[in-house]
Amino acid sequence: MKIVSSTIELNAALERPTLADLTGLVPTMGSLHEGHLSLIRLARSECSRVVVSIFVNPTQFSETRDLDAYPRQLERDAELAADAGAGVVFAPNAEDMYPDGFETWVEPSETAKGLEGKMRPGHFRGVATVCLKLFNLVAPHRAYFGWKDAQQTAVVGRMISDLNVQVTLRLGETVREPDGLALSSRNARLSADERDRAKVLPQALRAGLAAHAAHQNAKEAALAVLADDPQLEVEYVEEMTAHGHRLLCAALHIGTTRLIDNMRLEEST
Ligand code: AMP
């Protein structure tokens, strides 16, 4: 296991592949949890070499408060990644990724409209740009992303196809707590009371799935469940299509923490 912190070191670390090797990349922002580790294990089951990137990408945050509050724990993350099968952890700093004079961006369009793209202007421009940079740096055969961030997978998938990027997108299922809450690095910011109330998010999505199965309005059913907690600030409940699947997606604030989640509507039928 190696930890490398610059693009030059990364190239040196990647120098010895045999032609038959498959390289898998798992891009993350660190603070690794079982959701990330499931992606790393999936990558390891399919690829002889797994690179995990850990980079809290400043260009996908519009609020510096959110960026500054993002948890960082590289040493622990590196151990967890290695145990799950990572051979290289790439943890660059922002100056290495965005040196002075940086000015070239990937600007996603239709898939980046609505939902997260609407609530977080510029977010997917930062995501698409950093993903293309990571793909160019690591040259993976496969890149692993979670359904948890469904719109992100749609944006990245679109970019891969639009720009002929030589990588195959692989998707991992959302890993959840026993009460249904999707694992997220942001969950650590919830107080005990907020953490308990957060389970309403998957409950609302499940209610939406049940309504859909009964040929009723999924969005309305989910909103009705969320309305039970008047302290929640609901940003959106919307349907979207990603990779041929119809999804019910939601975003909300509990206190100062923003949570997102989605479920596939097909699973209700
Ligand atoms: P992040 O570090 O939040 O940028 O996430 C890195 C990758 O892990 C993304 O592809 C996410 O979709 C994925 N991911 C985040 N949470 C989960 C989860 N609970 N289950 C599965 N994958 C996840």
- pTM as predicted: 0.93
Q: What is the mean pLDDT of the chain?
A: 95
- Residue the block writes with tokens 């609302």: 204
**CATH 3.40.50.620 residue ranges for the chain:** 2-172
Residue ranges, comma separated, of all CATH 3.30.1300.10 domains in the chain are: 185-263
Active site residue 36: yes
Q: What is the pLDDT of residues 66-90, one digit of tens each?
A: 888 888 899 999 999 999 999 999 9
Share of the chain above pLDDT 70, in %: 96
Per-state percent for the chain, helix, strand, coil, to nearest 5 = 45, 20, 35
- Closest by Cα among 125, 71, 74, 70 to 102: 125
pLDDT at 269: 43
| Section 238-248 average pLDDT | 97
Q: What is the pLDDT of residues 25-67, one digit of tens each?
A: 999 999 999 999 999 999 999 999 999 999 999 999 988 888 8
**Percent over 90 (pLDDT), the chain:** 88
CATH number of 185-263: 3.30.1300.10
Q: Name all residues whose Cβ lies below 6 A of ligand 1.
A: 28-29, 35-36, 38-39, 145-146, 148-149, 172, 174-175, 182-185
Q: Which of 33, 36, 141, 215 is catalytic?
A: 36
Instruction: Outline where DSSP puts E strands in 122-267.
Output: 142-146, 168-172, 233-242, 245-254, 257-264
- Write the CATH number of the domain with boundaries 2-172: 3.40.50.620
Nearest CA, atom 10, ligand 1: 145
The mean pLDDT value for 238-244 works out to 97
User: Quick one: average pLDDT of 246-264?
Assistant: 97
